[in-house]
Amino acid sequence: MMSERISFYDQIRNNKIKSVLLISLIIIVFFILGYFVSYAFTPDYFFIIMILSIIISIFYVVIGYYKSDKIALASVNAKPALRSEYSQYYHIVEGLTIASGIPMPKLYVMNNEQINAFATGRDPKNSIICVTTGALKNLNKQELEGVLAHELSHIANYDIRFMTLTAVLVGMIAIIAELFLRSFWFRGSSDRDNKGNMILILIGIVFAILAPIVVRLIQLAISRKREYVADASGVKFTRYPKGLADALRKIEKDHPTENKKINKAVAPLFISDPFKRKIQGLFSTHPPLTERIRILERM
C-alpha cells in the first residue's frame, strides 16, 4: 500500500508551529524559574538577577549574531566563490533567489572533501551560502540545487534570527539558575523560611539544576524542526524533492576525513552534522538523514 503523500506546505506549517510551541516552553521554564527566585529572595534581589542575566546573555549572543557570518567563514577558512570558476553554483543560486524572492547572498567555497554546505547571516540582505568543494564535485545539478535551496530556505525563514532568540533565552535561564544556586550559600534567613516553606525552596533548587538541561534539549529540538522546515521550503523553491533526497543519500554514505578542519561551534549550521556523530535523538542538532529522506520521498 502506497504511503500517503505529504504536502510541503503542511510540512512547513506544522514544523513552524512546533518550533513556536517549543520556544514557548522555554519561556514557560523562564517564568517558573523566575517565580522560584522571587519566592526564595526579596523582589529587589530577583530583579538584580534578572537584569544581570539579560545583560550578560544578550551581550554575548548579539555579538555572535552580528558577526555570525564572519565567524563561520573564518572558522572553516572559506574563500569567496569566483563566478568564472563556479558558474553553475552562481546560476543555481540566482535561479533560486528568483523563485524565493530574496536577495542574492554572497557565495563562498570551503576546501573540504565532505559533501556539505551551510548558510548564515542575520537577515536576507546580509547573508552568505558556503558549500564544500566535495559538494560541488560529487553532486549533480539537481542534487546541488536541492542542497542550495535548503540553505537558501534557512535565510528566507530567518532561522539565524530565530535560533539567536532561542540562544538568548537559553543563556538567560542558565545564568539565572547559576546565580540563584550560588546565591543560596550567601543568603540570610527570611520570613518565608520561618513559615516552614523550605520544601518549596528545595523544589526551586532542583528546578534550577534541571532547567538549563531541559531548555538545552528544547533548543536542540527546535534546531531539528528548523531543518525539517528548510527541507520542505527547499522543495517549495525547486518543486523537485528527489534532488535534495538524492543529495542526502550521498551525504549519508559520505565518510568524513577532514572534519578536524571544522569548528564544532559552527557544526549546527551545516545541512548535515559534519562529524557524523552517533549520538542521535534528543542530543542531536540535526534530524536523522533517513527520516529526512523518507519525508522527502513522500512529497
Which residues are marked as active site?
151
Q: How far apart are CA 278 and CA 284, in angstroms?
A: 9
Q: Spell 167-183 as b/e; 16+ CB within 10 A means b.
A: bbbbbbbbbbbebbeee
Please choose, from the candidates 261, 287, 272, 284, the residue with its C-alpha nearest in 3D space to the C-alpha of residue 118. Answer: 272
The cell numbers describing 105, all together, are 547572498
Inter-residue contact 274 to 256 (CB < 8 Å): yes
Provide the terminal-to-terminal Cα distance of the chain, rounded to the nearest Å.
16
Q: Spell 20-37 as b/e; 16+ CB within 10 A means b.
A: eebbeebeebbeebbebb
